[in-house]
Chain A
């Protein structure tokens, strides 16, 4: 691989843009195809399909010989709204999983560096903070404050941005009220159904750390199983 191609590949990934590297395993020739350049590529259909599944692999090249397509989708970013006890337990687990975590909470008593050492903290209202952050399809959003004034704007932004994963803490009763508010805000049933609530896999979690584990397990399941399902269907 040429160093300039490797550098361009790393630059695209650092900018959170999807990119594919096409390699001829025999001759070693390579080209980089940025997300925006796929339509102009001779292998456009196959590259699009690979990108959608996030699956690297061999595809038939123009002359029928296989070429290797390495798919690089942006790494999953985790945004937790609510600098609460569960989030404190979740931060080191997320780091262990290699998830890039940002914690947002306008309540400055909660969002302190003492409570969240080495975590990116934004002590602003979610509307403003998420606007700056820029949600995308490679982001998981967790609404954890129990306070509709803070959680609702974050959930609305996440649904609009079609985030990979959207989860909200709270009982079924709390969620029923939330559903009513989101319906009033113009979201249909399908959109609202994208919210995982109560948040987390049902493992009987009780402590903040156990709830954090249940949440992260559900995020990983969404990332890995949804793609596997797409792979089986595709």
Chain B
């Protein structure tokens, strides 16, 4: 299989069918040495439980926070993350790459 994304999409369907409010984050574009390839998924429910990854753990926290908003208003949005800046509060990627992540609610 070599692609755990399969399990995440199956889990997304399962979580939704259980009646949980769910958002799916997908890496749609990468530049430089991004930690996870395009197509990688992070699945989030309304309680902040999550499965999968869109980075090496650097930006998941912020994606989860945004996902809770997406679950709330149902509006899909794209997020962009670049190199970590230690003086900024924003999450960043320590690897020096950049990624763009689409977050959408599963209705």
Give the distance to chain A from B99, nearest Cβ to Cβ, in Å.
13
Q: How far is the CA of A1 from the CA of B74 in the complex (A)?
A: 10
Are A3 and B3 in touch, CB under 8 angstroms? no
Q: Which residue of B lies closest to A57 (CB)?
A: B38
Q: How far is the CA of A71 from the CA of B40 in the complex (A)?
A: 11
Which of the candidate stretches A4-12, A115-123, A143-151, A193-201 sits at the interface with the other chain?
A: A4-12
Q: Label chain A's interface by main secondary structure.
A: mixed
Q: How many A-B contacts are there with CB distance less than 8 Å?
A: 67
B28 at the interface (CB under 8 A from A): yes
A61 at the interface (CB under 8 A from B): no
Q: How far is the CA of A80 from the CA of B67 in the complex (A)?
A: 43
Q: How far is the CA of A6 from the CA of B104 in the complex (A)?
A: 12
B49 at the interface (CB under 8 A from A): no
Are B1 and A100 in touch, CB under 8 angstroms? yes
Contact A25:B78 (CB < 8 A) given known A1-B106, A57-B29: yes
Instruction: State which of A9, A27, A71, A75 has its C-beta within 8 Å of the C-beta of B2.
Output: A75
CB-defined contacts of B3 to chain A, threshold 8 Å: 75, 98
Are A3 and B106 in touch, CB under 8 angstroms? yes
What are some 6 contacts across the A-B interface (CB < 8 A)?
A2-B106, A23-B104, A28-B76, A57-B29, A71-B39, A97-B1
Could you list which residues of chain A lie within 8 angstroms of chain B, going by C-beta atoms? 1-3, 6-7, 9-10, 13, 23, 25, 27-28, 55-58, 68, 70-71, 75-76, 97-100, 220, 223
Pairs of residues from A and B, 6 with the lowest C-beta to C-beta distance, nearest first: A75-B1, A28-B76, A56-B39, A98-B1, A68-B28, A56-B38
Could you list which residues of chain B lie within 8 angstroms of chain A, going by C-beta atoms? 1-4, 6, 9-10, 12-13, 16-17, 24, 26, 28-29, 37-39, 75-76, 78, 102, 104-107
